[in-house]
Amino acid sequence: MTARPEIEAITARIREQSKPTREAYLARVDAAISSGPHRSVLSCGNLAHGFAACGPIDKAALAGDRVANLGIVTSYNDMLSAHQPFETFPQLIKQAAADAGGVAQVAGGVPAMCDGVTQGQPGMELSLFSRDVIAMSAAIGLSHNMFDAAVYLGVCDKIVPGLLIAALTFGHLPAVFIPAGPMTSGLPNDEKARVRQLYAEGKVGRAELLEAESKSYHGPGTCTFYGTANSNQMLMEIMGLHTPGASFINPNTPLRDALTREAAKRALAITALGNEFTPVGRMIDERSIVNGVVGLNATGGSTNHTIHLVAMAAAAGIRLTWQDISDLSDATPLLARVYPNGLADVNHFHAAGGMGFLIRELLDDGLLHEDVRTVWGEGLRNYAIEPHLADDGSVSRAPAPEKSGDDKVLTTAGKPFQPSGGLKVLKGNLGAAIIKVSAVKPENRVIEAPALVFHSQEALNEAFKAGQLDRDFVAVIRFQGPKANGMPELHRLTTVLGILQDRGRKVALVTDGRMSGASGKVPAAIHVTPEALDGGMIGRIENGDVIRLNAEAGTLEVKVGDGVLASRAPAAPDLSDNGFGMGRELFAGMRALALRADAGAGAFG
């Protein structure tokens, strides 16, 4: 089944604008394929170092270059709930590889930081650039040229994008991504949000807040709301980088372990030593990227991926723009309601039919490219399934359910929650910005109010505590872009602005910083580009300027004459506190090199 004409047209546009960079990328991939990845290119001394710690059976296999060697790149650490389950994965993978007649080695580890831990803290200013550090760390592990394929163990916000950038940089190798799964459901996310609001209003204390947070984030696995981490898992599956049905199976279950073993065997099966060679640089193409964007919009996924998807696509020589993402959003109906776009969590989404149901609905409605290559073979239809544990401990698969298990959580393409997707580009005299509209009620999608300007989320929160914000206004939080302070998430704004909206005030946010997949009911024009420190007009807004945010029309304007705005001197920020402490001094070079948000906000590109 072919995709709809509008999907085909946007894909063709991406293909055309990417032609020079994509052709150069594929030429590099093909050159690398033709020269290896075989250990025979290594000298005897090189090779001896590469298998010195192996047992005699693996040494003999690697010395003869007869079997495939699987490189494991892991983001394991045992502080973070999402990554703690990876502790046991390498042994599962090594045993599965041995059972399949191959070898597996841990190629290297990458850092994994948690935005939930660093939220509102100095460490958050390292978060976005950790994506680039992760990509470089993975590259160091793979640079030994000992591997015929790689598996990538990662889950959360910057980890999966960084790992995919690395995988595509080593595009001559097959790549399979192996998730750890979400934690089981705890305190409902809306109840957690209610307690946060009560705490912000001084109606409950820290003990009550910590109890609610601990009941919500309570065990191994990803957080259960539909933020960037779970958007990552959706993307890896709909782009064909997971084995079918792998995304949302809970950690430490027999099915999770069976999927991990299966993924390792599949990675070995698609190496150049077999009959199904699937180098990831050839596998991921413009159609795969479009499928990812459609999935993001159909599920109301994370705004962070308007940055990450651009950077990931660029690693494959594909030029994806915000306008492409917005146009695909206009063509994509919203089929999922998962918190903060609804009350359900990702476990409820999975129980309602999950990725298999979603992919089948999108395929049947012509919203996805079916004719793509995946790690499972030809065609995305293979992913319209539901995984189960077979009697022998392996993975079995059945067709996705015909009906949603809960049509308030997951619906059909014929009866969408709204006719368009979750993300939209705003344009105007402030530049370009992103807004996530799927969680914003229609009556709050057009806001016109005076600006109140702040240079940090802490300053706005202090103004709220002082009783200065009980009015209609547009909060302008600037000098939060990648060049200024590394573009930390400003998640702590969500609670305060939500309280004011609940009180009947018309409020909105305009910022050159990030929010996250957790951005919710308050209209927020984020990622404003150019950022204030890069000459953006957001740096010239003054208190009292009337700002009009129109998410329906896709516009963002400050209602002063363009000549007046241009004639103003830009604000001069004091960023001295952002350059040191918690490792921030080590990232000064990355801030200086940072690309614009609409170009992926990375330190290389």
Binding site for [4Fe-4S] cluster: residue ranges? 156, 223
Torsion of CA 11, 13, 17, 18, to 10 degrees: 10
Angle 41-95-267 from CA coordinates, rounded to 5°: 55
- What Å distances lie between residue 370 and 12, 14, 74, 152, CA to CA? 15, 17, 30, 24
Backbone angles phi, psi at 509, to 5 degrees: -125, 135
Distance from C-alpha of 85 to C-alpha of 533, rounded to nearest angstrom:
40
Nearest Cα neighbor of 350 from 395, 299, 417 is 299
Distance from C-alpha of 115 to C-alpha of 127, rounded to nearest angstrom:
7
> DSSP H helical segments within 467-605, as ranges?
482-485, 492-502, 562-567, 588-593
Burial 445-477 (b: 16+ CB within 10 A, else e): bbbebebbbbbbbeebbeebeeeebeeebbbbb
The answer to whether the CB of 128 falls within 8 A of the CB of 483 is no
Backbone angles phi, psi at 521, to 5 degrees: -80, -15
Backbone angles phi, psi at 529, to 5 degrees: -130, 130
Beta bridge partners of 153: 74, 178
The answer to whether the CB of 596 falls within 8 A of the CB of 530 is yes
The answer to whether the CB of 301 falls within 8 A of the CB of 429 is no
Report the chain's C-alpha Rg in angstroms.
24
Distance from C-alpha of 81 to C-alpha of 186, rounded to nearest angstrom:
14
Quote the tokens at residue 400.
Answer: 């996705």
Q: Which helix (H) or strand (E) holds 511?
A: strand 507-511
> DSSP H helical segments within 421-491, as ranges?
457-465, 482-485
Say what angle helices 127-142 and 159-169 make with each other, to 10 degrees: 40
Distance from C-alpha of 358 to C-alpha of 412, rounded to nearest angstrom:
8
Nearest Cα neighbor of 325 from 339, 338, 311 is 311
Say what angle helices 305-315 and 127-142 make with each other, to 10 degrees: 30
The answer to whether the CB of 465 falls within 8 A of the CB of 495 is no
Burial 166-201 (b: 16+ CB within 10 A, else e): bbbbbbbbbbbbbbbbbbbbbbbbeebbebbbbbbe
First to last CA, the chain: 35
Annotated binding-site members: 156, 223
Helix, strand, or coil (residue 398) = strand
Distance from C-alpha of 381 to C-alpha of 447, rounded to nearest angstrom:
42
